[in-house]
Amino acid sequence: MIPKIITGRGSTRRLIAYLFGKGTANEHVDPHLVGSWNDFAPDPGRSPQRDPKEVEKQLFTQLDQPITMLGSRAPKTTVWHCPVRAAPEDPVLSDAQWAEIARRIVAAAGIAPAGDAEACRWVAVRHADDHIHIAATLARQDGRRPRRDHDIRAAQREARKIEIDYGLRRLKPGDGTAAKRPTSKEHFKAKRQGQDATSREILRKRVRRAVAAASSEAEFFELLEATGMTVRPKTGPSGDVLGYSVALPGDVNEQDEPIWYSGSTLASDLSLPKIRQRLADCGPEPVVVRPGDPWHQATAATERIPHHLTHGDDRVAQGQLAALGGALALLPVTAPDTARAELERAAATFERATRSRIAADHTSARVLRRSVQTIWRNPTGQSDGAALAMLLNAMLTAVAFAMHWHRKHQHAQQEAAAGQAIVHLQTAYAQIAEPVLDNLARNAPTLQTKHRYAHHLKQAVPEHAERIIQDRAWDALAAVLAEAEATGHNAATILDQALNQRTLDDARSPARALTWRIQRLGQRHAPSPRAQAAKARSVAQHTAAPAPATTAGPPLRPPPVRRR
């Protein structure tokens, strides 16, 4: 159940007219009162013998009376409007149940505490099965102001209790960092225009993708315009750009003017100051980074995210999650058509898991951000899908660790978002990885070679060996080991390197995880036979050399303190 508080100025006349009208798309059905401050307020929907407009006037006049009586002493903000919506899967509630819910919401928000006869005047209007609208005026009947400190949080807390009491879908408590939801009006408009998403959601996705792809503020604004949005910078008296707003071409209001959305109204982290901070933190590296395959660099950086989440401080962890969200935002551009839709859903869902009250340190995520930007600029760098499958495999583990990190910090909404993102990522990963693994398996080595690899596996990781050998991906793993051997690598050595990169305990498929690791390691330059022989001699000498005898000296003590 979602209560959403909106405040305004002036009379309740326009609000009452809207609530009892047909709606913007004739969506209002049987509008009528289900509750009011005195339980007998005029009801335009249940007065068949009277002109509905006259009853509406009587209703808003009574609602406005405490404000009118104050005259010049009336507050500037006079109207309190709170739609309360149930989830689509919730049972249809009766008028009496909605009336009780309305009383609980206005009491929790400080509008009309239980038993307070001098509280604010309010009405609850129902014009659909799944929601009501509560309209109130922000002056008590005794002339005082209502005490509604933190009414938004109070209404949300009461909604969580109502969900339990009425057996409704239980929403996750938030921390105030969620992006603003599209309004009902925006949803109806998108439906009329045949769009799957509202303008707000489309703009948010495009702006977030531009933030992930940009290396500078100038490039950010260039990317916004390149995606077809209309951009309006906000400048101060000095001419400095202080913010920005965006609009979709053709999305206009009744006056045929563009409907603008500022970055901060799309999401808190999309305001220009926040974007500038991220771009500054992710600026050029102070040292020269050795060039390499951006897919391998992105995968290696993603594989380090679980370590940051379990061993780093919270600010670094939050920065890693923001970078992971940016990578997911850009990845659909590189994906084949079969998996693009699922990756879009994964990115949109995981977006909620990239923000919390913890300030993000973006500096530790520079490699991931820069490598994914390189991939985005040259998406044709991988042809068979193996590089994308490799990266998605690492992302699945990273998102799973993100879910556990949010659970540890009691970020309920973010934890749920990460869990939903995993489902979409698994589907996309299967669509991309299965053809790649099948293609690799066609080049599986002989049975004798596979037995040799299996023997080493049983010695190196006995706890996972049987599961790996029985996995469908075993032939693909053997194929990449044989390919690495053919390019000069030692199969046992490269397998040990892959095993030492990261534990297999949390891998969904150890065979697949090893396949991607060995394929990445195998594409590196193989050591020469002379270098391999020298390394073997060094290891043998180090193992055979006796440990030097140590002489225990006196224990170190702090110097004596002289007493005067």
Span 28-32, average pLDDT: 92
- The rounded percent of the chain whose pLDDT value lies above 90 is 67
Query: CA 9 to CA 5: how far, in whole Å?
Result: 14
pLDDT band at 183 (very low <50, low <70, confident <90, very high): confident
Scanning the structure block, which residue is given the tokens 């600010």?
A: 315
pLDDT band at 212 (very low <50, low <70, confident <90, very high): very high
Give the amino acid at 136. A
Sign of the dihedral through C-alpha 420, 424, 425, 430: positive
SS3 242: strand
CB 9 within 8 A of CB 161: no
Q: What is the pLDDT of residue 284?
A: 58
Span 257-268, average pLDDT: 93
pLDDT band at 563 (very low <50, low <70, confident <90, very high): very low
Q: What is the pLDDT of residue 194?
A: 87
Dump pLDDT digits (tens) for 162-182.
Answer: 999 999 988 877 777 888 888
| pLDDT for 30 beyond 60 | yes
pLDDT band at 289 (very low <50, low <70, confident <90, very high): very low
Span 470-482, average pLDDT: 93
Scanning the structure block, which residue is given the tokens 């045949």?
A: 194
SS3 431: helix
CB 15 within 8 A of CB 122: no
Among residues 418, 356, 369, 422, the alpha carbon closest in space to that of 393 is found at 422
Report how far Cα 162 is from the mean position of its chain's Cα atoms. Answer: 26
Q: Which residue has the higher pLDDT, 290 or 44?
A: 44
Which of 63-67, 169-173, 213-217, 532-536 is least confident?
Answer: 532-536
Mean model confidence pLDDT for the chain: 87
Q: What is the pLDDT of residue 501?
A: 83
Q: What is the pLDDT of residue 293?
A: 85
Bridge partners (DSSP) of residue 125 are 33, 133
pLDDT band at 557 (very low <50, low <70, confident <90, very high): very low
pTM, to two decimals: 0.74
pLDDT band at 381 (very low <50, low <70, confident <90, very high): low
Dump pLDDT digits (tens) for 71-108.
Answer: 999 999 999 999 999 988 999 999 999 999 999 999 99
Q: Which residue has the higher pLDDT, 289 or 136?
A: 136
Dump pLDDT digits (tens) for 384-421.
Answer: 788 899 999 999 999 999 999 999 999 999 999 999 99
pLDDT band at 546 (very low <50, low <70, confident <90, very high): very low
- The rounded percent of the chain whose pLDDT value lies above 70 is 90
Q: Which residues contact 305 (CB under 8 A, 6 or more apart)?
A: 320, 321, 324, 368, 398, 401, 402
| pLDDT for 64 beyond 60 | yes
Q: What is the pLDDT of residue 25?
A: 67
CB 221 within 8 A of CB 381: no
| pLDDT for 547 beyond 50 | no
SS3 470: helix
Query: CA 103 to CA 124: how far, in whole Å?
Result: 9
Dump pLDDT digits (tens) for 409-455.
Answer: 999 999 999 999 999 999 999 999 999 999 999 999 999 999 999 99
Among residues 387, 385, 2, 345, the alpha carbon closest in space to that of 159 is found at 2
Q: What is the pLDDT of residue 505?
A: 82
Dump pLDDT digits (tens) for 216-227.
Answer: 999 999 999 998
Query: CA 403 to CA 411: how far, in whole Å?
Result: 9
Which of 92-101, 315-324, 481-490, 500-509 is least confident?
Answer: 500-509
Query: CA 136 to CA 75: how far, in whole Å?
Result: 14
Kind of pairing between the strands at 6-8 and 79-85:
antiparallel
